[in-house]
Structure 1
Amino acid sequence: MNYMYNLSIIFHNYSVISLLVLIGLNFVLLFKAEELLPYRKKMAYMTPLIAIVLASILFTGTIMMASKHLHFTLANIAMIIIGTTFIVLEVKRVKPLKYLKNVPHAIPAYRDYAKKIISAELIIVMIIAVWMWI
């Protein structure tokens, strides 16, 4: 049981680092975007990657919680709330891309909107990562 817990912690840490890298990559792609269509195509690849990494974070967290015999701690409750918040923020960020198909010059307006959401995601992940690693 201890081996499973330690392995989950390692995978959990790598998943969080991967999520931070993907958020940074999202920032870069957002600021380099000049037109909406190429950006939408890139997001068609990035969004599932973010979902997979987030799912691995939640899954390894669940394994760690199960190996502790489902004892809820403040850290576990915070992770559940943060995971749910991150999912809601991602849906809010990606949903407008579906409706901006034929809107000319839509990328500047979307950039301002997405920049706020990605910044909030980055801040949330950084705060929880620092709290967990300290």
Structure 2
Amino acid sequence: MNEMYDMSIVTHNWGVIAVLGVILINILMLFGIKSSVKYMRAISLFTPIVGTAIGMVIFTGIVMMASKHLDFTIENIVMILFATALIYLEVKRSKGVSRVNKRDEASFLEYKREATNIFLAEIAVVLSISLWMWV
């Protein structure tokens, strides 16, 4: 059991780093791609990667809870809440993409402002729980 728990901690930490990396790539795409049509295409291909990274962190967290015999500590409850918040923010951002008019650059600029705030909130969520757990 200890080996499975130790492996899950390492995988969980790499998953959190992957989520931060995916968020940063999203930000780079948001500001690097000027055309709303090209951005929509890129984000439609990249969104499953975001879900996979978040899913990896949640799955490894579940494995760690199972190896600790499903002990609900305050840390586990807070991580569940933060994972739910991260999923909510991603859904909110994804729904914002569907509202963008491909021909209207003003709506794309409005989405950029909204998405930037969501990405900053996601970074704050991930870093706050990470700092609390790693320190």
What is the TM-score normalised by the length of structure 1? Answer: 0.95
Number of matched residues? Answer: 134
Distance 2:102 2:36 in 1: 9
Please tell me whether residue 37 in structure 1 is matched to residue 32 in structure 2: no
Runs of 4+ with deviation above 3 angstroms: none
Please tell me whether residue 88 in structure 1 is matched to residue 94 in structure 2: no
Across the aligned residues of Structure 1 and Structure 2, the Cα RMSD in angstroms comes to: 1.0
Query: Whose RCO is larger (CA < 8 A, sep 6+)?
Result: 1
Distance 2:42 2:127 in 1: 24
Say whether the 8 Å CA contact 1:34–1:107 is kept in structure 2: no
Distance 2:8 2:124 in 1: 24
Distance 2:12 2:45 in 1: 22
Residue by residue over 1:74-122, the C-alpha shift from the partner in whole angstroms, topping out at 9 and shown as x without a partner, is 1100110001111110010011212324441122111001000000000
Residue by residue over 1:5-59, the C-alpha shift from the partner in whole angstroms, topping out at 9 and shown as x without a partner, is 0010011011000111111111111111211111111111221101001001000
Give the match's secondary structure for 1:48: helix
Unaligned runs of 5+ in 1: none
Letter of the 1:15 partner, please give it: G
Q: Which residue is equivalent to 1:129?
A: 130
Task: Give percent identity, aligned residues only.
Answer: 39
What is the TM-score normalised by the length of structure 2? Answer: 0.95
Q: Which residue is equivalent to 2:76?
A: 76
Please tell me whether residue 27 in structure 1 is matched to residue 27 in structure 2: yes
